[in-house]
A and B are shown apart, each in its own frame.
Chain A
Amino acid sequence: MKIILNNRNESLEADQLTINELLVVKNFTFKMLVVKVNGELVRRRDFDSTTVKDGDDVLVLHLITGG
């Protein structure tokens, strides 16, 4: 599938992935993060039940301490 991840085009082998699978595949390792799919926030408890499909626009934001 082809998705937009953090404003970049990405081609992935799988036809679809859960959020948790996508985070592993793309190496997002921080504990604290925010995920939006097609503009909608996905809560952490839904990371295993929400899937990313061809054409989706995904934002993954690492939350980093400091400020």
Chain B
Amino acid sequence: MTLPEQISNYLKQFTVGIAGCGGLGSNCAVALARVGIGRLIIADFDIVTEQNLNRQYYFHDQIGRLKVHALRDNIQRINPDVVVKAFDMKLCVSDVIELFSGCNVIVEAFDKAEMKQMIIETVLTKMQPKPLVVGVGMAGWGKSTIIGARNSGNLFICGDEVSEVSDELPVLAPRVGMVANMQANEVLEILLKDFRPTN
């Protein structure tokens, strides 16, 4: 087996939870699907709109569909071996615990700061030692080098930690894609910790 095949084979054993399927969640899920993650548990309550298409991994002919269903289709067109469990719901504390307790890693991919706080507090107080990878600060354009990653125990933080979305500072494909792929990269670092390639 080639090294990418070995990595894909190794990743089959793992499940990743994705909380939110907007700019962060859709792009992160696709990156993980491409490298061969075994299972993805995706959750979102929203539908695809035309305004989402400047940054989220959906297509024009998917406008009006539930994001979780559209994303499941897109993932399976890329890699049909990925098992996708899609949940059309707005997550609360008990949902986070129920849906994601079987995951090896959870990716926070919400839009609202309140929801980010909810999932961080839930995972840090009720689900330890579960790794949680959050995306914080990616609005606007340029400033590539202030985007970074750091961790505190099992909390992994990706983003610039300063750029909040506003009327003057929209979230656009390049920077949200950078942070989403950085989150996927942190997930890989966590999951491949004990991976040893064979010759």
For B176, the chain A residues whose CB sits under 8 A away are 66-67
Number of residue pairs A-B, CB distance < 8 angstroms: 79
Contact B125 A41 (CB under 8 A): yes
A32 at the B interface (CB under 8 A): yes
For B157, the chain A residues whose CB sits under 8 A away are 61
Q: Is the interface of B mostly helix, strand, loop or mixed?
A: mixed
Complex Cα distance, B116 from A30, in Å, reads 14
Complex Cα distance, B166 from A65, in Å, reads 9
Given A7-B150, A41-B124, A66-B137, residue A32 in contact with residue B116 (CB < 8 A) = yes
A22 at the B interface (CB under 8 A): no
Stretch in B6-14, B18-26, B61-69, B81-89 with 4+ CB within 8 Å of A: B18-26
Closest Cβ neighbor of A32 among chain B residues: B113
Interface size on A, residues (CB 8 A): 19
A2 at the B interface (CB under 8 A): no
Most A CB within 10 A of own CB, among B112, B116, B159, B176: B116
Contact B24 A32 (CB under 8 A): no
Hey, which bits of chain A sit against chain B, CB under 8 A?
6-7, 30-34, 36, 39, 41, 43, 59, 61-67
Q: Pick the 5 closest A-B CB pairs, nearest first.
A: A66-B165, A63-B113, A32-B113, A41-B124, A67-B24
